[in-house]
Structure 1
Amino acid sequence: MEDLLILKNISRHISLNDQEISYFMSLLKEKKVQKKELILKQQQVCKEISFVQSGILRAFYLDAAGKESTIMFAVSDWWITDMFCFINQQPAMLNIEALEDSVILQLQKDSLDELYLKIPKFERFFRIMMQNAYIREQLRVIENLSLSAEERYDSFLQKYPLAAQRVTQKQIASYLGVTPEFLSTMKINKQKNNPS
């Protein structure tokens, strides 16, 4: 069953019977997205949370001057949305873009609310998921305040080993808060200091 990945993801925190699985799966909408396609644009109301079945997506903020700041990458088996805007049904602060051809499963906000009522254990699942996301973002803020760019890059490689090989240097630099040129120089220096 192609949907097995999402069920494995959910089974890490809650157990579902066949009827609950069937109901949950009926709420999801599969969407195939092409490389560079935006599934969410800034100022568009954020109506879905997406599970990455295959491919890779990134959430980024685009400022008034056109500078991109990557907030997160989502590879297979990850969830992604503009959480504040999704929960509050407000215009998005972020863009979410496919970095390669991808398949996602989307759950609408009203379907999620319905799911909480019909299968209350999903509240536990999404609470754990949101707690983990909050912890991850808090740790990232602390890293940005306390670590050097090289240490942040090492942390990125540990967190996103698959993404590191599949995204551009510009996108990695925008995640780290450095220029692509600085990242390139840093990588060259790192290779000189740590020859294989």
Structure 2
Amino acid sequence: MSPILLNINKHISLSPEEQQLFLSKTEVHHFKAKTILLNSGQVCKHSYFVNSGTLRSFNINDNIVEHVLSFACDGWWISDMYSLISQKPGNLFIEVLEDAEVVLLSKENQEQLYTEIPKLERFFRILTENSLVANQQRLMDSLSLSAEERFEKFCEKYPTLTQKIPQKQIASYIGVTPEFFSKMKSRLLRNQ
């Protein structure tokens, strides 16, 4: 069974016919590292499911500082939810960090699937709810946890990423400067 169908199967069951219909509404693409799938200011037209590789969503502020919002590894979904839902220009970039195989599901096809396979609406509601809970928890963590504690949570959530992605992106995700992150990491290694 394909990774995306395994992901769906965690929450709902699709018949073989429904699986085929779902897959017929998706496109599988291979992207090289550093490919930008979505630019800030564009309307997001797809949800992206990562079969293999790593993606990230980020924003660049007026001072040309990147703020990493999320990462997506094998078996994860990523999108600019504001733009996808509202169909208005968003403020996120989505970038491929390492060569990736990505499944694209267009907003239009997703809406058609809600009519043709109504239980998919439940699946995407569950994904949206889980995303909302994760974002709320991340906000609470950034307000109440130390940088070290936020880094520990990052390592728990993304155990394979610490060796794969640049430290400046991890620093951005946990909300510290690369210099502070480097000193903090050295201190943590000395204390182990």
TM range (shorter): over 0.9
Q: Offset at 1:162?
A: 1.3
| Alignment check: 8 A CA contact 1:86 1:109 kept | yes
Q: Which runs of 4+ in 1 moved over 6 A?
A: none
Aligned with residue 46 of structure 1, among 32, 41, 44 = 44
Of the three residues 23, 30, 38, the one matched with 1:25 is 23
Give the alignment partner of residue 108 of structure 2, picking from 99, 107, 110: 110
Match of 1:94 in 2: 92
2:171 counterpart of 1:146 = no
CA contact (8 A) 1:56 1:102 kept: yes
Q: Does 1:189 align with 2:187?
A: yes
SS at 1:99's partner residue? strand
Shift of 1:103: 0.8
Q: TM-score, normalised by structure 2?
A: 0.98
TM-score (norm 1): 0.96
> What is the CA–CA distance in structure 2 between the aligned matches of 1:7 and 1:39, rounded to whole Å?
22
Q: CA deviation at 1:135?
A: 0.4
CA RMSD of aligned residues (A): 0.8
- The Cα of 1:126 is off from its aligned counterpart by 0.4
Contact 1:173–1:180 (Cα < 8 Å) also in 2: yes
Q: Percent identity?
A: 46
Render the CA deviation track for 1:132-173: whole Å, top value 9, x for unaligned.
Answer: 010000000000000000110001000111122211001001
The SS at the match of 2:143 is: helix
Which residues of structure 1 form unaligned runs of 5+? none
In the alignment, which residue of structure 1 is the partner of 2:11? Answer: 13
Task: Give the distance between the partners of 2:88 and 2:162, measured in 1 at CA.
Answer: 31
How many residues get paired? 192
Shift of 1:86: 0.3
Distance 1:33 1:63 in 2: 26
